[in-house]
Amino acid sequence: MFSGQFVTKRRPSETIDPGTRVRPVDLASRSSARSAAVATALFCVLGAAGCASPQQRIDSIAAAAGFQRTLVQGGSFRHAVYSGVASKSNQSTLRVYIEGDGSPYRGRYVVTPDPTPRQPVMLRLMSLDPTPAVYVGRPCYFGLADEAPCEPLDWTLGRFSEEIVASMAVVIRGLAQEADADEILLIGHSGGGAMAVLLARRMPEVTHVVTLAGLLDTDAWAVEHAYTPLRYSLNPVEGGELPRSITQSHFAAADDTNVPPGLIQRAAQRLGAGTVIVLPQVSHSKGWGQHWPAILAGQ
């Protein structure tokens, strides 16, 4: 993905700022990042009538589905949460949808100032789910990238850091308690699948993990694409098999070139899962909706 250096207040590492092309000898500037964001906004105002920000698209999809947005404090971060049901329900299991990595980069080398997904796969799938469910945003996504302590590391090389996973766990555990749910089913797409596995390792309330095109082995994925390793992140496969008490369902897309089925199958074996189901006529981000009702029926 990129080879530049990061500067961070919260952990010793190297640094990169959004909006600037980064090469090994470059140091990006925050002013350049802001200039890029302003230029994009100006283009939308002056020339593109249909131009909407990722967050505006998210809010539009959520409103159409009847979901409400709230901000919830996790550990170090605030999280955007979308839900279409009351906090109390008669369901003993709470379904939690976790989105993928969104848009951390523009192209291969340019870090975006806002990683909010342009194609929210999980939000659309949750709109097809008739049972109580919540969509939990990852830190710094959904309009929160400028909030402290967010920095570009949190959606690039450190997107699965201990601090981020711990903050997600705080939010999800609190939502389950509010819903009087004894069990949690985690559903994640792509990087959201990585997050689901990492959360399952530390949350005994989790009884089911469902991943779609799950990024289950970040090291192997980086090698597959010749990306910089996510060296400030946890790798979901490290730690061996998940507890036997957790039911795993892993789905791959036959036409996926981002997280190919073979990559998922090898990682799933290390996690102690059974057969990975490869779905036809599905790519990394498209085609999941046609299979979703059947997948839900099997959970």
The residues pairing with 187 across neighbouring beta strands, listed in sequence order, are 97, 210
Q: In the 8-state DSSP scheme, what is residue 197?
A: H
One digit per residue, pLDDT tens: the chain, 299 residues?
333 333 334 544 445 544 433 332 222 333 333 344 433 433 344 444 456 788 888 999 999 999 999 999 999 999 999 998 544 456 789 999 999 999 999 887 889 999 999 989 999 999 999 888 999 999 999 999 999 999 999 999 999 999 999 999 999 999 999 999 999 999 999 999 999 999 999 999 999 999 999 999 999 999 999 999 999 999 999 999 999 999 999 999 999 999 999 999 999 999 999 889 999 999 999 999 999 999 999 87
Q: 261-270 vs 218-225: helix axis angle to the nearest 10?
A: 150
On whether the CB atoms of residues 229 and 159 are closer than 8 A, the answer is: no
Alpha carbons 29 and 174: distance in angstroms, whole number: 38
DSSP one-letter string for 6-39: ---SSSS-----TTSB--TT----HHHHHHHHHH
Residue length of the chain: 299
Output the pTM of the full model.
Answer: 0.84
CA atoms within 13 A on the CB side of 93: 12
* DSSP strands (E only) in the chain: 68-73, 78-83, 93-98, 105-106, 110-111, 133-136, 183-189, 206-212, 247-253, 277-279
Residue at 29: amino acid letter:
S
